[in-house]
Amino acid sequence: MGSLAYREDLEEEKSSAFTWEVKANNRAYNNQFKEKAFLCWQRKKYKGNVIHTAKYNFFSFLPLNLYEQFHHTSNLYFLFIIILQGIPDISTLPWFTLFTPLVCLLVIRGTRDLVDDIGRHRSDKIVNNRPCQVLVGKSFLRKKWKNLHVGDLVCLHKDNMVPADILLLASTEPNSLCYVETADIDGETNLKFRQALMVTHNELTSVRKMASFQGKVVCEEPNSQMHHFVGCLEWEGKKYPLDINNILLRGCKIQNTDTCYGMVIYAGFDTKIMRNCGKIHLKRTKIDRLINRLVVLIFMSLVLISTALTLGFWYKVTEFKAKHHYVSKIHVHSVATESFFIFWGFLILLSVMVPMAMFIIAEFIYLGNSIFINWDVQMYYEPHDMPAKARNTSLTDQLGQVEYVFSDKTGTLTENIMTFKKCCINGIVYELACLPPPSPLQENPYLWNRFADGKLLFHNARLLSTVLGKKDRMVQEFWRLLAICHTVMVQEKGNQLLYEAASPDEEALVTAARNFGYVFLARTQDSITVMELGKERVYQVLAMMDFNSIRKRMSVLVRSPEGSIYLYTKGADTVIFDRLYNKGLTECTTEEALASFAQQTLRTLCLAYKKVDEDSYEEWHHRHQEASIRLQNRAHALHQVYNEMEQNLQLLGATAIEDKLQDGVLETIQCLKQGNIKVWVLTGDKQETAVNIGFACQLLSEDMIILEEKEIVQILDTCWENNNLLNGKGCLKNWFPSQIKMAMVINGEFLDQLLLSLRKESRALMQNVNVNMESWQEPEEQKTKFLQTRRISLMWQTLGTQLRNRGLGPQSKDSGIHESPEVRQEQAFVELALRCHAVICCRVTPKQKALIVALVKQYQDVVTLAIGDGANDVNMIKTADIGVGLAGQEGMQAVLNSDYVLAQFCFLRRLLLVHGRWSYMRVCKFLRYFVYKTLASMMVQIWFAFYSGFTAQPLYEGWFLAFYNLLYTTFPVLYIGLFEQDVSAKRSLELPELYITGQKDQLFNYWVFLQAIAHGTATSLINFFMTLWIIHDTAGPLSFSDYQSFSVVVGLSCLLSITIEAILIIKYWTVLFVLAILFSLCLYMVTTWASQSFQLFIISPKTFPFLYADRNVMFHPSVLLMVLLNVSLNILPVLALRIIYQALKKPYPKEKEETPTEGIITMELPPYLQQASCRRRSSYAFSHREGYADLITQGTILQRSPGVNGNMLPGHRIPSDEELDPSIKESPWYHRKSFLKKRHQHSGKVSSEDMQPTSMVSSSLTVEGQFSFTKNVAASTKWQSRSSHEKLPRKQARPYSHPGSLPATKERPPSPRESQLPLSESRPLPSGQSYLQSQPASLEEKMTFWKMSLLSQKSLPYIWQKEPQPHQEAPLPNETHTPVVEILPPSRGDSSTSQQLMELMEVEPLPAERQLSPKE
């Protein structure tokens, strides 16, 4: 991360000023804003909506690609040699002999890059040409995305992708709600809702009014914060605050909303998702970087050798001129000049030590191994017709060296499909029965139910017969609770019921009840209709107490058709069991079932209910009304009131839902762990959900110590206090012994505070106190969070001061040689993370995912791989050394930016352990062999120089040098690089430990390179000097002591020696390899016979001087014996050494657990490392956000709004186009029909008086009849005032006899277990505030410091906080403002008492304390 991330953060901090002004329907106004581009040149400040993710264009391809290719040191080396060859005085070889292969190499690599970039251009073209509807004049016309500009008004329909960051102005949903799916942004597929401002909802009711809309948005500059937005709308002299809940981000998908309208705020690369996409990085493998260093090393060696040979030439030429003055015309220049030319001549002659052929053949090897990946049928996913694909052909060898895998969760590890697996009712566990395959008539046991969707895989004949028997009251109440206690919405489509849930878990539970005959049909503001085994029943909803992770439960208070009042509650077992009025055998059996479900990593909920008598309800209703209108501590009061009702419950049972993993995920992760590959999960999902998946994947286990924010800070703090951080790297490794298995679970907010708190502390604190308004806490609570954040910063500031005082830190700005405290901070954190067996990062943004990968790459020399399936994973995929995109359900953005494409996560196992390991082994063996054969043949030139007067005369025939790497040795080398296998694919999967070889760089490193040099040098010495020794002092017609014969014998000995070496090192023999050997030898014979033929000699004697040299030598038996002797001396000693080495080599001992030493570990762990109680069996209840309870009880979500009506239809002409979604053809203003027309519906339009300002106080209670919001508040004043803290009389619990005899709602004393939950139950319940009233909080971000305070050793003050509202992620409170008193317009029927009450009400401040118009 380092300074680069710091600069980016500073730029974002500077851009947080509110200088972004966009005016609707006014391009001329928006185009007047300019920004400085270069020197005095200015450009438009607001970018268009065109995106370009490709690296090159028509003009930049050639220069930019050449610039990238000449980053390879070898290419620079070859270019330098070609320039030298172009100088006639020093050239020993023609310039084109090296120029032609270099051009071929550049063309091959350039073509590969061009093909990849053409794919990006095509993708960009598809995205930029997507259709959308833009307001032009007074009608919406079809335009392309690339034609959008800031300030334009657009119309979106169901299933449309949002083309830019848009301010929502109105929609066809009630109160201009808009439902979106953000899977491409945060990985979550559950629906979220956004809402337009009430002023635009009420005013912009037609196309004509939208055309005249001249509002101006003033907001922050574009940034990468996905869940944060601050701005205001200025319109008609008034200002209206905006936050992220009013914004539709690019990449979102419109769901369950017919039509919505918005104004473009950010376009193109200014959008938040594009700000998180990152840049395309030039990826190079570890072997590639090693070769670059080796090329430099070889070049320096050649310079030294050429210098030494030049000195020899200086001595020889001086001696030659003194003794043979009569031939002085040969040396016309001075000795110094001749030596200078000879130096460059030797450098050119020895340049073949870095063979161009090696790089050309390597490209074909990379391409071939990539094709094998594409052809692997074992990685073909038939359901989607999706094979594996290698989009980058230069990284195959690095697939065999991966040490860290960074994986997304949703869509990558999981299918995001919640399946109802098991249940426990009244102590009896019902699970999927393992029966023989049923007959076709018995295939679906739910055919008797016309409402069954046929998708439920849970079949249990015993449970089904009990349900149909209608005799077991507990079973009836169990399924009735699942059909009633939820916030699911239902709509009809094609005579089918479609459920819309706040989470897939809720939908799975309601769907299970639906298939068992308890069908949720419809709901109104104060009623819910259920079809119970064919009988329709309407329940009056008296109160809804919604889920959140603080309450960990949801309750619904209903009145049955018979007039009885029942409370149905579902939630975490830790909460429900503390509220039971009796604990007997059933409860114990249920707890055992819950433990069993948790061992199977199922997500569980406990279900309970009770009957409430009328008198208790009336008393509770009075207290609830009083609590809901309190001006201070309302959340605290509502918490107590809710808690009073949710007591003395009767346990019904428990449900178990499986967050289904993709096929083979568990086996793949276990296999990767055996191969020493660490898997980190980086997800935008909630912490509890991610932890549950961690247990399901066995990344986490019960014996692990899971470190969260509090423990991490204390560990680092303790290490600092003990001066361990001053010892450099490895301190934490010694601090924690290997016996302690640890895992780390952190979130994005904590990463920002820990890693960036020192260098941008003001920003971190500003985010937590001023900007990060999600928490909606009391001032004391925010002050506590402020101090906790400050403590982390001060810890590292103090560390930096101590380091500087000791001379270990930077003393000044100029002293950059020492590590800064923030660098030490990052090193310590990374070291702790690497010490953990698993790391799970939750609620991280796309940019944070990339920064985590970059952090590991910076401080560890390891190969990283990132795998994901959504647009939120693109930045991570680009940053990692290897990016793998899954062709999932979240679009193709990850695929288009990846290096490899897979259909399933399980194929990663074969990609790494088989193809990756094979490719690494092949490339390493190829490089080692190529270096050996090059030195074996070319080092002879150096030995020959001692006998040629150091004249740089080549020993070999020119054609032998030309064809040596091209024909004579190419095919064995290609076979090694393409087909070599040390073990089979099956064995590679069975022994993942073999993969560790690549991680440790054992097959090709400096030592292996030196071995190859020594081996090649020894071969060249034997071939040259053995031949020279045998032919010494021989002459005559039978002698082969002449120059040409000597050259042929040495060349043939070298060729046969390296061919037999290839035969010995190959482990995978096939017919193809035998043919490659024979074909290479045949090519040598044919080309040698042709180049030494008489016909070619006549044509050009200088080009073909070796006339019949090979033929004359080969017919002498003594020559053949000499060649055989040379080959034997080269092969036998090496073979003997290898056999002896394998015999003496000790097998790798199994890793034994190190015994702890006294200086490292004691028997007792530190207090902050003690195992906490496991909460994962109720992870669903812990992580569930608020549903739609407030919207339901207020009627906001259930009725059409007055601001969206048919008046807009005549002016809105939607052009017909086949590319548009079919849903566009439907009228966007058509009101929903009821599923059953005979069913009574509470419908109607909301009057302007009923649409209260956002500061109105609402209640989650709905009494009989349908009241407007103001009427409810007014009616509440008729009740006699009662303190919200008043206690009900206690009543002792009695044994359970019959559900009808359950005790009425009374308060019981808190149990010891309940009293031990300091913050889990003392936290307030969500208030009944309207969604429009408050700016809610991101629950996960608030949970970060809530957990830290929960685990803190120091007791914190008991503080109550206001609760977040559903699906609000980045609100912006301002605590420096004072509350505003708002006078509400009177409605009909309001009494004077209610008017006085409303005049005296003091509402809570909103972001920037906006002033609301009377009409709003």
What is the pLDDT averaged over residues 289-308?
Answer: 91
Q: Is residue 146 over pLDDT 70?
A: yes
Q: Give whole-number Cα distances, 808 to 719, 730, 759, 799, 820, in Å.
A: 17, 17, 18, 11, 9
CA angle in degrees (0–180, nearest 5) for 1400-1405-1406: 130
Q: Is residue 329 over pLDDT 80?
A: no
Q: Look over the chain and give the mean of its residue pLDDT values, rounded to a whole number.
A: 75
Phi, psi dihedral angles at 1367 (to 5 degrees) = 55, 35
Which of 8-17, 389-398, 1323-1332 has maximum average pLDDT?
389-398
- Name 261's bridge partners: 155, 170
CA separation for the pair 275, 269 (Å, rounded):
6
What is the pLDDT averaged over residues 657-686?
Answer: 89
* Pairing, β 497-500 against β 259-266: unpaired
Phi, psi dihedral angles at 1232 (to 5 degrees) = -70, 145
User: 419 by DSSP, 3-state: which?
Assistant: strand
Over residues 192-208, the pLDDT tens digits come to 888 899 999 999 988 99
pLDDT band of residue 452 (cuts 50, 70, 90) is: confident
Phi, psi dihedral angles at 444 (to 5 degrees) = -115, 110
CA separation for the pair 1219, 159 (Å, rounded):
13
Q: Give whole-number Cα distances, 1395 to 957, 1254, 1274, 1392, 1412, in Å.
A: 109, 18, 8, 5, 19
What would the DSSP string read from start to end of 1052-1089?
A: HHHHHHHHHHHHHH--S--HHHHHHHHHHHHHHHHHHH
Judged by average pLDDT, the poorest of 446-460, 897-911, 1002-1016, 1145-1159 is: 1145-1159
Phi, psi dihedral angles at 581 (to 5 degrees) = -85, -10
Q: Is residue 758 over pLDDT 60?
A: no
CA separation for the pair 974, 969 (Å, rounded):
9
- For residue 796, how many C-alpha atoms fall within 13 Å in the half-sphere facing its CB? 25
Number of residues in the chain:
1416
- CA-based nearest residue to 709, from 551, 829, 851, 548: 829
Which of 610-624, 692-706, 1215-1229, 1359-1373 has maximum average pLDDT?
610-624
- Neighbour order of strands in the sheet with 253-255: 188-195, 177-182, 253-255
Cβ-count burial 890-923 (b if 16+ within 10 Å, e if not): bbbbbbbbbbbbbbbbbbbbbbbbbbbbbbbbbb
What is the pLDDT averaged over residues 885-909?
Answer: 83
- Dihedral through CA 449, CA 450, CA 454, CA 459, nearest 10? 0
CA separation for the pair 16, 229 (Å, rounded):
10
- CA-based nearest residue to 647, from 693, 578, 601: 578
One-letter amino acid at 855 equals: L
* Contact call for residues 1342 and 1186 (beta carbons, < 8 A): no
Q: Could you give the residue ranges of the DSSP H alpha helices within 1145-1204?
A: 1179-1183, 1189-1194
What is the pLDDT averaged over residues 441-456?
Answer: 75
Give the burial class of 282: count Cβ atoms within 10 A of its Cβ; 0-12 exposed, 13-18 middle, 19 or more buried.
exposed
Q: How far, rounded to the nearest angstrom, does the alpha carbon of residue 895 sit from its chain's CA centroid?
A: 13
What would the DSSP string read from start to end of 185-203?
A: HHSEEEEEEEE--HHHHHH
Quick one: pLDDT at residue 434? 56
Which residue has tokens 């979550």? 188
CA separation for the pair 575, 1178 (Å, rounded):
10
What is the pLDDT averaged over residues 677-693?
Answer: 86
Quick one: pLDDT at residue 752? 79
User: 793 by DSSP, 3-state: which?
Assistant: helix
User: Which long-range CB contacts under 8 A does 721-727 form with residues at least 24 apart?
Assistant: 725/799, 725/824, 725/828, 726/803, 726/806, 726/808
1001 is catalytic: no
Q: Is residue 502 over pLDDT 80?
A: no
Q: Give whole-number Cα distances, 45 to 30, 33, 167, 222, 777, in Å.
A: 9, 6, 19, 11, 38
pLDDT band of residue 17 (cuts 50, 70, 90) is: low
Quick one: pLDDT at residue 1071? 94
Q: What percentage of the chain has pLDDT greater than the value 90?
A: 32
Q: Is residue 156 over pLDDT 80?
A: yes
Which of 17-21, 968-972, 1037-1041 has maximum average pLDDT?
968-972
CA separation for the pair 520, 482 (Å, rounded):
9
* Contact call for residues 264 and 27 (beta carbons, < 8 A): no
* Contact call for residues 702 and 599 (beta carbons, < 8 A): no
User: Which long-range CB contacts under 8 A does 1239-1243 form with residues at least 24 apart?
Assistant: 1239/521, 1239/522, 1239/529, 1239/536, 1239/538, 1240/527, 1240/538, 1241/522, 1241/524, 1242/524, 1242/525, 1242/526, 1242/527, 1242/1195, 1242/1198, 1242/1266, 1243/524, 1243/1198, 1243/1199
Higher-pLDDT residue of 895, 1258:
895
Over residues 1266-1311, the pLDDT tens digits come to 333 333 333 333 333 333 333 333 333 333 334 343 444 344 444 4
What is the pLDDT averaged over residues 1143-1151?
Answer: 62
- CA-based nearest residue to 860, from 848, 868, 849, 852: 852
Quick one: pLDDT at residue 756? 53
Check residue 575 and report its DSSP letter: H
Judged by average pLDDT, the poorest of 334-338, 446-450, 462-466, 752-756 is: 752-756
Beta strands in 524-666 (DSSP E): 527-532, 535-545, 553-559, 565-571, 603-612, 650-661
Instruction: Work out the widest C-alpha separation in the chain, in whole angstroms.
Output: 135
Q: Give whole-number Cα distances, 801 to 797, 807, 822, in Å.
A: 6, 10, 12
Higher-pLDDT residue of 535, 845:
535
> H/E element holding 942?
helix 917-945
Q: Roughly how many angstroms between the first and final C-alpha of the chain, as a whole number?
A: 47
* Contact call for residues 254 and 168 (beta carbons, < 8 A): no
- CA-based nearest residue to 446, from 474, 420, 478, 417: 420
Quick one: pLDDT at residue 919? 96
CA separation for the pair 601, 1027 (Å, rounded):
74
Helices (H) and strands (E) in the chain, counts: 48, 35
* Contact call for residues 654 and 423 (beta carbons, < 8 A): yes
CA separation for the pair 522, 528 (Å, rounded):
6
Quick one: pLDDT at residue 187? 59
CA separation for the pair 1416, 1398 (Å, rounded):
16
Tokens coding 404: 């860290």
Tokens coding 64: 């930019």
* Pairing, β 428-431 against β 489-492: unpaired
What is the pLDDT averaged over residues 525-544?
Answer: 91
What would the DSSP string read from start to end of 440-498?
A: GGGS-TTTT-TT--S------HHHHHHHHHT--HHHHHHHHHHHHSS--EEEESSS-EE
pLDDT band of residue 189 (cuts 50, 70, 90) is: low
Quick one: pLDDT at residue 453? 81
User: 1038 by DSSP, 3-state: which?
Assistant: coil
- CA-based nearest residue to 707, from 843, 860, 851, 834: 834
Contacts with 1216 (C-beta within 8 Å, 6 or more apart), sequence order: 1225
Beta strands in 851-1001 (DSSP E): 863-868, 882-886, 900-902
Tokens coding 585: 């055998």
Q: Is residue 1063 over pLDDT 90?
A: yes
- CA-based nearest residue to 590, from 421, 429, 478, 430: 429
Over residues 1333-1385, the pLDDT tens digits come to 333 344 344 344 334 333 333 333 333 333 334 433 333 333 333 333 333 33
Over residues 237-282, the pLDDT tens digits come to 899 999 898 999 998 889 888 899 999 999 999 998 888 887 777 7
Q: Which of 113, 408, 505, 873 is catalytic?
A: 408
Q: Is residue 1036 over pLDDT 70?
A: no
What is the pLDDT averaged over residues 1209-1228?
Answer: 39
